[in-house]
Structure formats: structure tokens, C-alpha cells
Amino acid sequence: MTDASLPILLGTAVTLGFTHTLIGADHYVPFVALARARRWSARRALLVTLACGLGHVASSVLIGALGIALGAALGSLEALESVRGGWASWGLIAFGLGYGAWGLRRALRGRGHGHRHLPGGRHVEEGETRSVTFWTLFIVFVLGPCEPLIPLLMFPAARHDWHGVALVTFTFGTATVATMCALVWAGTRGLALIRAPALERYAHALAGGIIAMSGAAIRVFGI
């Protein structure tokens, strides 16, 4: 790869990482919805988003690296990413419906947010749902593909420019995860300004519905 082409490729990686995340509401809507329903702090919401974002990018990097090592054609890798996209969308729908049903059941039982208060106004959620929620969401995001990344990797790889491969991977990954975190931060800050006491009881149920709809959007619009 020539010195002139590398900046163009890196600029493309930044642009695609940003637009791929911005257009794909599933990259940030689930985190914003869960942060509001579970009353996460901004720090916790960003840490969960960061972990899932890194898993999301790393899985595509691993598949791309294996494809390069095995000499797989670009079409084969893109087909695999398409299959993974289907798994991720159905996983998000299933998670949203399951979480929403759980939240609706709690609401009808009058348990609300289901937390106990500690001195100083802090609260702790009951049960093991926090870890289940995180790991389910993490697995869904690991399954989810970064479709634009594979073609970007193949260009420098075809020229055996491993320095270029590393730079493209880092640039695209940073743009993707940074955009996810920025959108989640903005979304949680915005929702914090909205007061709707009548809906608080159904916060978990609403969050589940929103998550399921974001997964359905992937199926319908292919984003």
C-alpha cells in the first residue's frame, strides 16, 4: 500500500465506523433503554456499552483474521457476516421480548424497579438480573457483525500490509466504540431530563419493547 492510499483508507474507516453505528440504532438504543429502566449511573452505562462495543468489533476482527489466514474470499466472509447479523437480530428480539415480559410481570405485581434503598439514597437491584442482562446483551453484540470492516481489512491484507491492517482495525474499532459511547451518553443524559412518574412502574417492560423493536428494525431495514 502506498503512503498516499493509507490516509484515504483510514479516513474511510473513521467514516464507516461512525455512520455504521449512527444508522444502526441497535448499537445504542438498547443501552439507553436499559440505563433508564435499571437506573444505571452514566459511568455504568458507558462501561457496559464499552464492553459490548469491544466484543462487537473484536468478533469481526477475529473472523477477518481467520479469513485472511485461510485465504477465504471476500464473498464468503460477507456471507458469514450476514448469517451472524441474522443471529444477532433475532437474539436482540428474543432478549427484548423476554426482558419486557419480565418487566411487565413485575409491574403487574406492583414491584416497580425492584430495588432496595441503602443509606444516602443509593439503591441495589434485587436478584441476579444484572449479570444476566449484561451477559445476554454482550453475547448478542459479539454475534453482531461489523459489516464494513471486512472489506476494509481485505484491501491492505491483499498487499500483505499488516501494519495497514492493524491501523485500519484500530481506527474503525475506535470510531465505532467511541460513537456508541457518545450516543449512549447523550441518550441517557437526555432521558434523565424527562420525568414521567406514571410510566416508571413499566420502565422495564417499555425497555424490553424498545430493545425488541431495535432488533426488528435490523430484520426489516437490514441496518
Distances (CA, A) of 90 to 78, 209, 222: 19, 14, 12
Alpha-carbon distance 108 to 116, whole Å? Answer: 18
Burial environment of residue 176 by CB neighbours within 10 A (0 to 12, 13 to 18, 19 or more): buried
3-state secondary structure labels for all residues of the chain? CCCCHHHHHHHHHHHHHHHHHHHCHHHCHHHHHHHHHHCCCHHHHHHHHHHHHHHHHHHHHHHHHHHHHHCCCHHHHHHHHHHHHHHHHHHHHHHHHHHHHHHHHHHHCCCCCCEEECHHHCEEECCCHHHHHHHHHHHHHHHCCCCCHHHHHHHHHHCCCHHHHHHHHHHHHHHHHHHHHHHHHHHHHHHHCCCCHHHHCCHHHHHHHHHHHHHHHHHHHCC
Question: Is residue 103 a part of any domain in this protein?
Answer: yes
pLDDT band at 219 (very low <50, low <70, confident <90, very high): confident
> Can you give the pLDDT at residue 86?
85
- The model's pLDDT over 34-84, given as tens digits with 9 standing for 90+, comes to 999 998 999 999 999 999 999 999 998 888 888 877 776 667 777 787 888
Residue 193 corresponds to which amino acid?
A: L
Which structural domain range is residue 166 located in? 81-111+127-223
pLDDT band at 124 (very low <50, low <70, confident <90, very high): very low
Average of per-residue pLDDT across 182-194: 91
Average of per-residue pLDDT across 117-122: 42
Question: Is residue 14 a part of any domain in this protein?
Answer: no
Could you tell me what percent of the chain has a pLDDT over 90? 44
pLDDT band at 186 (very low <50, low <70, confident <90, very high): very high
- Contact assessment for residue 149 and residue 169, using Cβ atoms and an 8 Å cutoff: yes
Ranges 67-76, 78-87, 105-114, 212-221, most confident: 212-221
Average of per-residue pLDDT across 110-125: 48
pTM score of the predicted model: 0.81
Average of per-residue pLDDT across 121-133: 58
Average of per-residue pLDDT across 154-176: 87
Q: How many independent structural domains does the chain possess?
A: 1
> Can you give the pLDDT at residue 53?
95
Average of per-residue pLDDT across 165-180: 94
| Average pLDDT score, the chain | 84
